Structures are given as structure tokens and as C-alpha cells.
Chain A
Amino acid sequence: MDEKLSREHEMILDAVRYWVKKQCPRTETMAWDESNQLPPEILSKFKELDLWAMGVDEQFGGTGRDWLGITLVVETLAEMEPVLAGLYATDMWGAATIAAMGTEEQKASFLPQLTEGKLPLARVKPSQPLEETIQFRQGQSGWILNGACKQVDFAQQAQMLVVQATAENNPDLTSQFLLSPSSEGVEISPLETLGYRSAGSCSIELHDVYLSLEAILGQVEKINPMAAALAQGAWNLLMAAQATGMAQGAMAYALEHAKGRVQFNQPIGNFPAIREKLTELSVMIRASRLMVRTAAALADAGQKYHAEAAQALLMASSTAEKAGLEGIQILGGYGYSLEYDAQRYFRNAMQLVCSGVEKSSLYATIGKSMGLTP
């Protein structure tokens, strides 16, 4: 399916590849990881590519949302610098979520800024493995939010938080709220993580955070019952693209090593054990990529894609985990050394698996599409 990309998509892909090659050499990305910081210059240079417009419709200044284009960008960035991929993906997710659920006023006020990459977002979603909750209730003149979320990526630089909360009196009613990180009652503390180290991750606590009625994404009177599913579908698709790119990056790195490293008078890639690890990964990566593109194409055609996105993420995340782990094994002792990059792929992949993938909810989504009630 790579072969069948449109000319425009080929051009986007080429531009991003060229940019990554030029601006994100491996020595630099390793240094960013070590210093826990993505340099602001890189971000501004990245914005010059004007890729944010792909996430927003023309009436708000964008070029019309293009899921296939977005996932191509995310995947390509993740091959070398998953943090940048995650940052871009978070904004694209926010733009899609606001476009899908927001009121006209919300769209008009946020989407033009998002088009220009000027409204950095962070997604606050309670973790399922930790069984976290964030709850909302309606007060006299607005909403009151309470709860906590252990890990929120990009929270340090975000100007707006998109918070998923559940009604205090109705666990089946979930909505998204837009709020400033400096709102009263929002406590943000930095979190040191295994991977995505330069993502400015934080833990967030919400203590009686008062919000105006308009802070809810969508109509106040009629909370969208599909809000959680809509948000999660887009998120899963973007995570799957990240995982696919990461797996590709890890595999390509190990492949290069396997071709050059000689033991027992031959490149280790010649040994069936190593060759099979690499080839199996290449198969899984291809499957992941095709699944991402299928889901993206469905989304672009305005069709249901949530089950497909969940399938893609299930596949791509286990591929990324495997690629991270096998990458180290293929490099042997060098895989364990911080002077080589296999360990960064491994750490980023585990981070994605632990904090970005909630398997039971993926199984529920896919199962539902097959007629199995969760």
C-alpha cells in the first residue's frame, strides 16, 4: 500500500523524511533524550513545515483534515523522534476532537490557533490500569472537576488541557472539558518517565476546579453519549501510527547493526535466529502500517473506523514492544550500552505500551464490533 499513496501524500512523506534527516540526526535525538528536553528551536523549525493545517478544515484556516496524511507524518517522525511525533499527534487529536464535538463558538475560537500550531494541548485521561477517575458535576454557574491523572504527556508546555471526566452521578456519562493549566485547583507536578523523556510529562490533580459552562466540549444541555468513544478512536489511530514508526525505527537500527557486526566470520544477520527476528518484525511492521492506513482511509471517507483503529493499535503496540526488546537482543552487549540507540527505542516503546495502550478497552471496542458485549 506504500506504493499506492497519492502524489500529495508522497510529497508530504518526502518532505518530512528530508526534514528529519536534516534536523534530527541520531546524535541530537539521543542528546535531547538524555537532557529530558526537546529544544525549542527544533519545535519552531518543525512548525515551519506547516503540517498542523492538515488537522483542520478549510473554514478554520486548515487544508481539510487528512487522517492518512497525519498518520504518515506521525509514523515518519516516530521512526527517529517519537516525542515530536507524540506532540504533533496530540494537537491533531485535539483538533479532530474539537471539530467532532465542539460548538461553533469553540471551533471558531480554537481551531484557527491549532491550525498554526499555536495552541499546544495535553490530553488528560484517567488511566484504566490505575483505575483512576476524574469526575464532574454541575454547580450553580458551571462545572466542578475533581480527580487525578498520574501521567499527562506534554503537560509542561501545554496551554490547554483536554480533560476526560465522568459524571459523578452517572458512570456512563463521559465528556471532555477544555481548561487552562493555570486554572485554580489544578496541581501539576513533573513526572520522570522511562521513555518519551523529553515530553514534559506531569502528574495532574484536580481539586474542586470550577469551570464555566462553556468549558465542556459540545452542548451544555446535551452531553454527547459518544464523547469518550469519539475521542478514543482518534487517539488510538494516532498511537498506532506512532507505534508503527517506532517499531520501524528500532528494526532498521538493529538491521543495520546485524549487517555490519561480524561474529564467527559472518555478519550476525546471516544467522537464522537473527534473520528471523528481523524478518518477523518486518512482517509485523508492514501489517501494522497497512492497518493504520486502512483505519485512516476509513476515517477520511467519513466511515466508522474505531474498531479498525483499535485493531491497528493492538498490532502496532505489540510490534513496537517486540522491536524494542529484540533490538537490544540483536545488538547484544551494545544494545545494553547507553552509547547506542537501541535502548532509547526500547524505553520509548515500553512507555507507549504502559501509558498509551489500554488493552482491555481495545478488546472491548473490537469485540463490540463483532457483537460481543463488553
Chain B
Amino acid sequence: MSSGLSREQNGFREKVRSFVEREVSDARAAEMDRTDEFPHDIMHKMAQYGLTAVNVPIQYGGEGGGDLEVMILCEELSRQSPALSWTLGNVILYGNNIIGVNGSETQRERFLPLLAKGQLYFSFGLTEPNAGSDAANIDTYAEKQENGPWIVNGGKTFITGGTVANYVVTFARTAPSRYKGISAFLVDTLDKGFSYSKIPKLGFRGSDTATLYFDKVTVPEDMILGGPEGLNQGWGQMVRLLNGERLSLAACSLGIAQAAFDAAINHVRQLPPPAIAGSRQSVEHRLAEMAAQLEAARALAYRTAWMHTNKMECVRETSMSKFFCSETAKQIAAGTMAVMGPDGCDMALAAQRRLRDVLILSIGGGTSQIQKNIVAKTLGL
């Protein structure tokens, strides 16, 4: 399963797995789903355990890992509670990654040590009512005051962690050019003019999703991502993060698929032996197919991660991994429910939650259709 991973990386997987076993019981995962409340307690424990520091460079107080470690983390958390991989994402993806990759030196020094300790949450604010798949179509805009700060106006929707974030990396129009007129502002959510409302949703409950409102929010110039030089660089900064984010979402799909598959196997194993030999063939073959699908999805995602880590061009493979893993996981989660019959739809059991959870993974971070458009483009079509 872990072929191609280093000893340290396999060790890290074991470490995460034991954390989950110890700290995230089935009951706790179910409770989070039921109450849809952000798991501050588990976040605190993850920080103590060093998980928030995994991809922060050592000189800023981190563990020095990269996107592969983030993938391992997302996969392992998602086996038990996918929402945790997103709540942690408010530190490691939207904080550590965004600031680590695109921040100015001042920003890195200011934020990374706190992020590593799990003391700050960041959100990624791109999507708007009119800008979903067409992400460059944003209307939120920022205007510069005479010799002073910027004023941000507009709204965002479906923003992960928008209710808990200390900072929202807010993409806003700063010039007319479709791609080269977008800047990313680090908006302090305590600032006047910022507000939010939570969106109730089908799955990934516990990871808050929110609509955000920016009513003349003042942002100092040095809070443009990358510093003042980051002006109008927002789109490029975002594109730099895409491979990593998509791979981590693929890893979430793998974790969910693995858990669903394990549940299907357990369900069939605990049935009494079949009265007539061979009479369970159709279920057994369905499980055999799932096993093959899962193996193929994992191989694709980790091979792509290997390319990514070795700085090879892998936009195509990343998009392939993103849609293939999520669509495959969807089939496995739905197939497991069918195998389990009424147990599959029992709200007291996890099978139904896995399908609810997995459905966002073919939508968020670029839908399966958008990923296929990208793959087609890289194929020269």
C-alpha cells in the first residue's frame, strides 16, 4: 500500500493512525456529523501532537514536511472523519501552504510559527455567487485609499472555516484584467465590516462552511499576500497551490473509499456462511471490483504525488487524480451502502455518512468536469 513512500513517511502514517485511534472514536466522529460543530477540542490535540506543524519549514518552527505528508494526513484522517482533514486544512492548507508558498518574508515570520502551533486559522476565499467553476469571474473588489490602505467590498460563499478563521485570504479585483487584475488580501476577521453566516450542509459537517460579507473592510498594504509586490498577482499565487490542494483532496477521497470498503468487507464477513456455496458471488464480485478500483486510485494519486515532490510537470496527473479518486470513492461508498442494505442507510452507522461526505470531493477544489477540461487541454485537445 505504501510503496514509494520513505521510511519516515510510512512512520508518519503510523503516527497519524495511532492519533486517530486514540483521539477520534466512532462516537466522536458521529457526534461531529450530528451537531455540525467545529471540533476545537480535537484541533487542540492535533496541534499538541504536532500535526499542525507538519508542512511548516523547520526554520519557522515546523516539521519541514511537504505535500506528500499533507496527503498522508488527509487520507488517514478521512478514514475516520473526513471533516477533520478540512478543519486541519484551515491551518495546513490555507495557512501553512498559502503563506509558506506565497507569503512575503515578513508574513512568513509573523504567521508560520503561530500556525505551526495551531494558534491561527486561515480560510481561502475565492468562490462567489457568480464565480464558482468560473473562479476568475469574481466581483469582490478592493480600492486603494490615497497613500493608505485598501478597502475591500463584496462577498464570498462556501468558504471552509469561514466562521472560525482569524484571516481570510480574500481574492479581490484590483484591476480590470481577468487574471492579472486579482489580488489576495489577508483580511483580519476581527476588522470592522467583516461578517459571516454559516451554511448548513449535507456532509463534511463539523468543518464549517460560510458565506462571508465584506462591507468596506480596511486592509493595510502589507497584508496583500506576498506584500505590496503581490498586487495583481493573486491568480498566479493561487495556481501555484492547486496541485498540492488537489492531491490532498484526492487523498481525502482515498481515505473515505478505504473506510467504506473496509465496512463492506466487515459486513459480508459477519454474515453466517452462505447456505448454498457460491450464492454470494455477486456481492463477492462487487467487493473484488471495489478492491481493484481502490488500488488503482491510490496508485495514481501517489504516483502523481511522487512526480509533484520531484518537481516534475504533473498538472494533468493531478487533475486525473482529483476526479478519478473522487468519482471512484463515490462509487465505492454507494456500492457499500447497497451491499449493507438497510444498515447502509441507518443514521446510527457510518456508511451513509461516507457517501454524504464524499460527494463534495467531486465538486470542491474544481469539479470533476473542470478537471476533465484541464486533462483534455493538456492532451492538446
Contact = CB atoms under 8 A, between A and B. Distances in A.
Interface in A253-278: 262-264, 268, 271, 273-274
Contacts of A150: 342-343, 346
Interface string A310-354: 000000000001000100110011011111000100100011011
A143 B167 CA distance: 69
B31 interface: no
Given A264-B134, A350-B352, A354-B345, A333 B334 contact: no
Interface string B280-307: 0011000000000000000000000000
B340 A339 contact: no
Contacts of B52: none
Contacts of B369: 271, 273-274
Contacts of A195: 345
A131 interface: yes
Contacts of A271: 369
A32 interface: no
B367 A354 contact: no
Given A264-B133, A264-B134, A333 B127 contact: yes
A343 B352 CA distance: 13
Interface stretch (B57-65, B89-97, B194-202, B311-319): B194-202
Given A329-B363, A329-B367, A191 B334 contact: no
A357 B362 CA distance: 26
A130 B341 contact: yes
A363 interface: yes
Nearest to A321: B334
Contacts of B360: 336
A332 B367 contact: yes
B364 interface: yes
Contact of B347 (A130, A192, A263, A360): A192
B346 A131 contact: no
Interface-centre pick from B132, B283, B368 (highest chain A CB count, 10 A):
B132
Contacts of B355: 350
Nearest to B127: A333
A229 to B, nearest CB: 19
Q: How many interface residues does chain B have, given as a range? A: 35 or more
Given A192-B347, A337-B199, A354-B345, A329 B362 contact: yes
Interface-centre pick from B203, B339, B360, B372 (highest chain A CB count, 10 A):
B360
Nearest to A351: B345
A191 B271 CA distance: 22
A166 B315 CA distance: 59
B345 A263 contact: no
A151 interface: yes
Contacts of B340: 129-130, 354
Interface-centre pick from B133, B271, B272 (highest chain A CB count, 10 A):
B133
Interface string B328-351: 001000100111111111111000
Contacts of A194: 345-347, 352, 356
Nearest to A130: B341
A332 B346 contact: no
Interface-centre pick from A129, A195, A359 (highest chain B CB count, 10 A):
A129
B345 A193 contact: yes
Nearest to A358: B341
Contacts of A354: 337-338, 340-342, 344-345
Contacts of B275: 171
A260 to B, nearest CB: 13
A333 B272 CA distance: 42
B157 interface: yes
B359 interface: yes
Interface residues of A, number: 42
A337 to B, nearest CB: 6
Contacts of A262: 130
A343 B337 CA distance: 17
Interface-centre pick from A335, A336, A359 (highest chain B CB count, 10 A):
A336
Nearest to B157: A333
Contacts of B359: 325, 328-329, 335-336, 346
Nearest to B331: A325
Given A194-B352, A273-B369, A354-B337, A131 B272 contact: yes
Contact of A360 (B282, B330, B363): B282
A339 B134 contact: no
A358 B339 CA distance: 10
Interface in B12-69: none
Given A192-B348, A336-B202, A336-B363, A263 B342 contact: no
B153 to A, nearest CB: 22
Contact of A128 (B201, B203, B341, B363): B341
Nearest to B135: A263
A312 B272 CA distance: 31
Interface of B: 127, 130, 132-134, 137, 157-158, 199-203, 271-272, 275, 282-283, 330, 334, 337-348, 352, 355-356, 359-360, 362-364, 367-369, 372
Given A192-B347, A350-B337, 19 more contacts: A129-B340, A130-B341, A131-B272, A151-B346, A193-B346, A193-B347, A268-B133, A273-B369, A321-B334, A328-B363, A329-B362, A335-B359, A336-B201, A336-B360, A338-B201, A350-B345, A354-B344, A355-B342, A360-B283
7 contacts: A130-B340, A274-B369, A321-B334, A339-B199, A351-B345, A353-B338, A354-B344
